[in-house]
A and B are shown apart, each in its own frame.
Chain A
């Protein structure tokens, strides 16, 4: 944190901005690829939510977390309307808005299973249009290059080329259902104002999810390596999975192990706290993140129930991370949206070990734990195209 500016990592820049805007001077999302001017977007295709990142024209970073929920938009006869996305002519509520209206979850699974679901496409393009609007781009037609983070288990060494890359099944699904796709999205805000976006996914850069966190932690915004660590164990507590991934750069290696379910186990326990509410797991995940739940027409503070769930189930999740702390060979980097819920418990457990913060391990601050993979994915794309 005290390093000179050019020795600061991307993550240091995020933390250093405090509560103000995060600005990377001289950078923007405008890139050229295949001779075509495009906008770069980082997308972490999480089971519980899409996390997206891009830069505005002034270098300001914009991120979004969009729960993977969708519902047909309905007419609200009176009162405050909801923001609606019309994707390919179909009016929809997506993300948090859909959760407020009993929206459906998109089933968790491998990338190849998820991207074929037309609802995934609808959420994806609606989220992209929202991100561009928030980042200050004027409505219109845009070519996008999407730096797409997929589960670590979907990146493997190709035996013919002896190179790491996205596995064939995932790559084929992305080529068929993401790359080259065009969508017309109309955004109708709560006041009824309409904007239209025509979005073309010109190209897709595939990569492992944890590579995003590794890049954000180890590289400066100019791409300089700012950590003297050659081997890192990234422990990612995501919505669907809890994974640990060993990343080394000399030689290039990426070894992933799924060590259990992610915060979905907390969501299921939370669901059991409200047996009559028929909460979807995604709605439960959202309640865990926000501390609030709508029940019988009232917005209720559910902090107490969350604490009970964390006390019972959270320790199980923490327990699975302890082997990572016992090993001495690698620096340990804890990340993932689960850190938002379990950061304090994890700190307590680490404090009982001999591990030193900054020297032996780092915990991604909760404010950035959910979106950091997408931020790193965005920079991996920028690094490759300039």
Chain B
């Protein structure tokens, strides 16, 4: 989306609850170096969602002028990554999948979160050894 990594400062107002949520989320993403970086990540992901929704003819360019392939690529990857969570904890999607299953349109118990491949768990030793031998994010 961006051709340059230079960023302009923009200010927004957030609520106390949103600030607390940010603080808690920051702990979940150790690779994110700062609160502003976390906000930036949320902003980038959110922009692609908005671009996917920007489909009204006559109100400027569709999809914010981005190519449909670019928008679809980003949104699709977000969706695929979040599907196991939504299937396990959502309300609407499990019902839709159950209906599809009743209609014979799915091959296995698609309402089970196990039906969607969870990321494999790796042995922690492997990460520890790579860290110990100098592999580091730069």
A residues contacting B by CB (< 8 A) are 26-27, 30, 32-37, 138-142, 147, 155, 163-166, 171, 174-175, 179-182, 184, 196, 198, 203-208, 211, 214-215, 219-220, 222-225, 247, 249, 252, 254, 379-380, 382-384, 386
Contacts and interface: CB of A to CB of B under 8 A. Distances in A.
B134 A211 contact: yes
Nearest to A379: B126
Contacts of A219: 123, 126, 129
B81 A32 contact: yes
Closest 7 CB pairs of A and B: A223-B126, A164-B134, A252-B132, A140-B73, A223-B123, A223-B122, A207-B135
B1 interface: yes
B100 interface: no
A207 B132 CA distance: 11
A222 B123 contact: yes
A379 B135 CA distance: 11
A383 B117 contact: no
Contacts of A214: 133
B45 interface: yes
Contacts of B67: 140-141, 196
Given A138-B69, A386-B120, A30 B77 contact: yes
Given A35-B38, A140-B69, A384 B135 contact: yes
B136 interface: yes
A162 B1 CA distance: 39
B3 A182 contact: yes
A275 B57 CA distance: 67
Interface string B16-40: 0000000000000101100001100
| Among B32, B41, B119, B135: residue with most chain A CB under 10 A | B135
A26 B73 contact: no
A114 B105 CA distance: 54
B73 A249 contact: no
Nearest to A220: B123
A37 B77 contact: yes
B50 interface: no
B133 A247 contact: yes
Most chain A beta-carbon neighbours within 10 Å: one of B72, B122, B123, B125: B122
